[in-house]
A = this chain, B = another copy of it.
Amino acid sequence: MRVSELVQRSGASLATIKYYLREGLLMPGEATSATQASYGEEHLRRLALIRALTDVVGLSVQKAAEVIQLIEGPGDDLFLTLGAAIGALPPYVESSNEQAQDYPLARTALERLGQVYDPDYPAVGQLDRALTAASAAGFPVDDDRLELYGAHVRAIAEYDIDHVPEGPAQGAIEYAVLGTALYEPVIAALRRLSHQDLAMRRFVPDSATDPAGS
């Protein structure tokens, strides 16, 4: 398709598409003349991915570019690639502060959960950051909550790992990186909606027999 059709079908503006091409987020089309190029379904899918990473996951264009670069040229080591991709997801942890590198809240939590972890994995700092913030704001995660959350999150993660696609490593890495990023907003929204469902059933008993939206 020509770029005008790509604009129309993707919903992205021409200026945005040119910007993504220039920054390397979008792969070039196939040149059909000196000034024209032809685009395909992979361009549409890539534009949808950039939009998902920026608008829904909340990444800056720069961070989205980092994630896409890792998917395109993942290297040989799944753990290193995945670690680098996780580091591009929020919350961002400054690596300059030596004190913070110890991550005491995350270490204690992971030991209580009996989980194996690489202390340099960015998610360790992210967990520590999240636990510290909740605690400072007056809502510490106590052991009881940690264990309950940990068990159910682990069951979700098991499902994720059980469904890593077979075949070339490229597919597994894409699934690992994008499944981490794209399903987090789904999980967050489901929790918000479960709160509403449970609260309505408990505090507005009639609502359960007359579900809204039916």
Given contacts A52-B133, A178-B137, contact A195 B161 (CB under 8 A): yes
Question: Which chain B residues lie closer than 8 Å to A196 at the CB level?
Answer: 79, 82, 116-118, 121, 123
Question: Which chain B residues lie closer than 8 Å to A51 at the CB level?
Answer: 133, 136
Contact of A201 among B86, B106, B116 (CB under 8 A): B116
A155 within 8 A of B: yes
Question: Which chain B residues lie closer than 8 Å to A78 at the CB level?
Answer: 199, 203
Interface hit among A16-24, A30-38, A184-192: A184-192
A48 adjacent to B137 (CB under 8 Å): yes
Q: Is the interface of A mostly helix, strand, loop or mixed?
A: helix
A197 within 8 A of B: yes
List 5 interface pairs A-B (beta carbons < 8 Å), by A numbering: A111-B213, A117-B211, A138-B178, A139-B179, A176-B195
Given contacts A127-B190, A137-B182, A139-B183, 7 further A-B contacts (CB under 8 A): A48-B138, A56-B129, A79-B200, A116-B197, A126-B192, A153-B190, A154-B190
Q: In whole angstroms, what is the CA distance A155 to B196 when docked?
A: 13
Q: In whole angstroms, what is the CA distance A4 to B178 when docked?
A: 45
Q: Mark A54-87, 1 if CB is under 8 A from B, else 0.
A: 0110100000000000000000001100100010
Contact of A153 among B56, B179, B187 (CB under 8 A): B187
A127 adjacent to B193 (CB under 8 Å): yes
Question: Which chain B residues lie closer than 8 Å to A124 at the CB level?
Answer: 193
A115 adjacent to B178 (CB under 8 Å): no
Given contacts A56-B133, A111-B213, contact A117 B148 (CB under 8 A): no
